[in-house]
Amino acid sequence: MPAASMSLDMTVPHPARIYDYLTGGRNNFAADRDFGDQLAAEVPGLRALARDGRGFILRSVTWSASRGIRQFLDLGCGLPASPDVHETARATQEGARVAYVDNDPIVLRHAGLLLSGPGLAVISGDVREPGAVLADPALREVIDFSEPVGVLAGGVLSAMDAETARNAVTAFAAVLAPESTVAVSCISYPDEAFARRISARFAEATGRTWVSHTAETIGGWFSGAGLRITRGKAGNVRSWPMAPSRADRTAATLGGVGLKP
């Protein structure tokens, strides 16, 4: 179901608010917390996995900014959380610019209120339609694609099948200048039957897709887009950029950072 058509009914669990709850945020309601608790009971360490993804994305921002990148494109940004991407980037690169992209009306409403100011933009767009996102005039006012950009896909690719995700990564990478970076993270379940069960539970409660992608699949997105991945391959992001830590047998947050040659 397209996010733009979803009801704003606060009694129905909502993906962005569930994630907010799991990562310790306050932009959530009883329905989100109840379902988040149910998921956490089925997926050992789920809260830690969600925090792993968020921490990795912010570390990738700091790492990219330390390499001189001064502009970031946050795809599927989710509800505002402190520190946010622009706060993190500006701690290293003063005046860094950030475009936040999402297609969820709840996210857009909050982001429009809290993520405004010089060098910031909130874009209504679907990551599954890169051409439309990239053509948005408001995006082009903040992001100059003739210069390096840090692209962030923290969890958003879990909302689509592997081929759609691959096409999205390829399309966004294609417009990037050399020395740009692309950071990707996805919660992954090695047990396929378990993954299908959790996906079905999520879809039943929220009406949204949640797909488990393997490290090999994620690595293929990078290589297919012509990106050189740090650490040589996709893996558990918990310790990134240090050596990969062992993935839990039940679930792990997988991903990496690709460099545009």
What is the per-residue pLDDT across 123-175, written as a single tens digit (0 to 9) for each? 999 999 999 999 999 999 999 999 999 999 999 999 999 999 999 999 999 99
CA angle (99 as vertex; 96, 105 as ends), nearest 5: 145
pLDDT digits (tens, 9 = 90+) for 182-236: 999 999 998 899 999 999 999 999 989 999 999 999 999 999 999 999 988 999 9
pLDDT digits (tens, 9 = 90+) for 46-72: 999 999 999 999 999 999 999 999 999
Residue 10 lies in a domain: no
Residue 149 lies in a domain: yes
Q: How many domains does the chain have?
A: 1
pTM value > 0.75: yes
Q: Which domain holds residue 74?
A: 49-191+217-259
Residue 205 lies in a domain: no
Q: What is the CATH number of the domain that holds 104?
A: 3.40.50.150
Residue 255 lies in a domain: yes
Residue 110 lies in a domain: yes
Residue 31 lies in a domain: no
Residue 91 lies in a domain: yes
CB neighbour list of residue 260: distance below 8 Å, 6 or more residues apart:
148, 173, 176, 177, 178, 179, 180, 181, 182, 226, 227
Dihedral sign computed on CA atoms, order 72, 88, 210, 139: negative
